[in-house]
């Protein structure tokens, strides 16, 4: 049975959906005002792997990931560029899609956009006012946090500490320093929609609650996102009425031990990393740490990921297409079902690759290679043509094959000095050669 860590209960639990026939998952998507950085890519890849695993386990899965296309940051970006908010949102939504496509992250089943759901947001705000959870003030509508006695249970934040932290420059029209905005007035030239409270736009938190209800219903099984969203965003969603059986959060990405920030100049954009390595190498790198743990990105991260993939693809080279055996893939699947343990799953893939190289039986070797490829698909890896992969990166396979053939000829001619020299040359290229059953096979060194 698939088990996941639930941020609400703070423990790993069996995933039992509300409806055994239909699992519903919602993941917070991007605010499209800039290009995606590697921190934005991590949840997209993590929850893509989870969606693949869920589709293996449940008859029907509805996976929704939103686009926030109205926001103060989008307004600021439009003003800076001298263009419209619609143009900024359209441009960076397209860029986000292109980057995720390069990383092999499939599109969600549902991708709601905030601006298409203003009416459901207004309706939800009106409902919260009617129930005594929200109040209008100075053209705003605010959620009154004291009306929710359980506020803070997801993040574990102390109410007194939250109140103290909110005392700096608290708006005079707030009843409580912790109260948060559901609706805000729009200035001239800013995006705005008509409402009973005047022309304005929604606050960030109400968007997800309204879109979840609109597309997935009142109760969902998994609500996901980065750990930075646990408070206040997800805490506020719960206060608004969002119900999820599991709250799942991925850890931060740091860069050489430091938090990514513009001030440090260490923000790594996905599109820049794609100029350095194939998207699959970036995806592999994002899966090398357990999703709940921080992932530290260093100058060696992409090189190591590329080398590891070279080894895995090397095990598929020349393998005929046969049906895999379930038992050969069990270690990978078991690792993923254990709270999405991708480091353990990757280790299992490499163990399979080692078995491919070690096997002297051609039929068994083909079965193991098939298992490697099929198990790799659960992680979104190893689905390219082997030759295409080799041509996409640093390994010059034409030269390697020529050197391996020349070395084989030298061995046949018992020219051991020449054979040793060629082995050394291959080693400098990061390639190991194995001689077995009269054949020489090469693989990229991990």
Over the stretch 236-289, which tens digit does the pLDDT of each residue have?
999 999 999 999 999 999 999 999 998 999 999 999 999 999 999 999 999 999
Question: Residues annotated in the binding site, as ranges?
Answer: 28, 208, 233, 237, 262
Q: What does the alpha-carbon distance between residue 152 and residue 145 come to, in Å, rounded to a whole number?
A: 10
**Per-residue confidence (pLDDT) for residue 165, from 0 to 100:** 46
Question: Residues annotated in the binding site for ATP, as ranges?
Answer: 262
pLDDT digits (tens, 9 = 90+) for 292-326: 999 999 999 999 999 999 999 999 988 888 999 99
The helices-and-strands tally (H runs, E runs) of the chain is: 16, 15
Spans in the chain with pLDDT lower than 50 = 164-168, 446
**Per-residue confidence (pLDDT) for residue 167, from 0 to 100:** 44
* List of long-range contacts for 160-168, beta carbons under 8 Å, 24+ apart: none
Total residues found in the chain within this entry: 446
CA angle 377, 383, 387 (to 5 degrees): 155
Q: What does the alpha-carbon distance between residue 242 and residue 250 come to, in Å, rounded to a whole number?
A: 20
Residue 372: burial class (beta carbons within 10 Å; 0-12, 13-18, 19+): buried
Q: Which residues contact 210 (CB under 8 A, 6 or more apart)?
A: 117, 120, 121, 123, 124, 202
Question: Residues annotated in the binding site for Zn(2+), as ranges?
Answer: 28, 208, 233, 237
* Helix, strand, coil share (%) of the chain residues, nearest 5: 45, 20, 35
**Per-residue confidence (pLDDT) for residue 390, from 0 to 100:** 77
């Amino acid at each position: 049975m698939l088990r996941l860590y639930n941020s609400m209960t703070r423990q790993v639990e069996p995933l039992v959906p509300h409806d055994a026939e239909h699992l519903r998952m919602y993941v917070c998507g991007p605010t499209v005002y800039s290009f995606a950085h590697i921190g934005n890519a991590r949840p997209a890849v993590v929850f893509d792997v989870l969606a693949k695993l869920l589709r293996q386990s449940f008859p029907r899965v509805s996976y929704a990931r939103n686009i926030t296309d109205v926001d103060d940051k989008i307004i600021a970006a439009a003003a800076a560029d001298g263009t419209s908010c619609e143009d900024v949102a359209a441009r960076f939504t397209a860029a986000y899609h292109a980057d995720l496509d390069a990383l092999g992250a499939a599109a969600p089943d549902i991708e709601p956009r905030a601006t298409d759901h203003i009416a459901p947001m207004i309706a939800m705000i009106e409902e919260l006012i009617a129930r005594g959870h929200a109040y209008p003030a100075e053209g705003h509508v605010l959620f009154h946090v004291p009306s929710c006695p359980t506020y803070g249970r997801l993040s574990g934040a102390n109410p007194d500490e939250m109140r103290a932290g909110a005392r700096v420059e608290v708006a005079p029209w707030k009843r409580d320093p912790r109260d948060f905005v559901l609706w805000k007035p729009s200035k001239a030239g800013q995006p705005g929609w008509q409402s009973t409270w005047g022309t304005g736009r929604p606050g960030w938190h109400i968007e997800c609650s309204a879109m979840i209800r609109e597309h997935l219903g009142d109760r969902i099984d998994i609500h996901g996102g980065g750990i930075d969203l646990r408070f206040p965003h997800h805490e506020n969603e719960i206060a608004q009425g969002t119900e999820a059986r599991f709250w799942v959060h991925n850890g931060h990405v740091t860069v050489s031990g430091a938090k990514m920030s513009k001030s440090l100049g260490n923000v790594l954009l996905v599109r820049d990393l794609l100029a350095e390595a194939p998207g699959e190498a970036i995806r592999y790198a994002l899966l090398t740490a357990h999703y709940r743990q921080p992932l530290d990105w260093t100058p060696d991260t992409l090189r190591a990921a590329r080398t590891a993939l070279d080894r895995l693809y090397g095990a598929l080279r020349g393998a005929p297409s046969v049906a895999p055996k379930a038992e050969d893939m069990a270690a990978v699947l078991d690792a993923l079902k254990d709270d999405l343990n991708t480091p353990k799953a990757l280790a299992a893939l490499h163990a399979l690759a080692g078995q491919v190289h070690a096997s002297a039986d051609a039929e068994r070797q083909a079965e193991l290679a098939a298992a490697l490829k099929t198990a790799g698909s659960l992680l979104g890896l190893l689905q390219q043509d082997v030759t295409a992969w080799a041509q996409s990166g640093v390994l010059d396979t034409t030269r390697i094959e020529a050197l391996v053939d020349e070395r084989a000829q030298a061995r046949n001619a018992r020219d051991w000095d020449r054979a040793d020299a060629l082995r050394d040359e291959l080693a400098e290229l990061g390639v190991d050669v194995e001689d077995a059953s009269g054949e020489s096979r090469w693989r990229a060194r991990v």
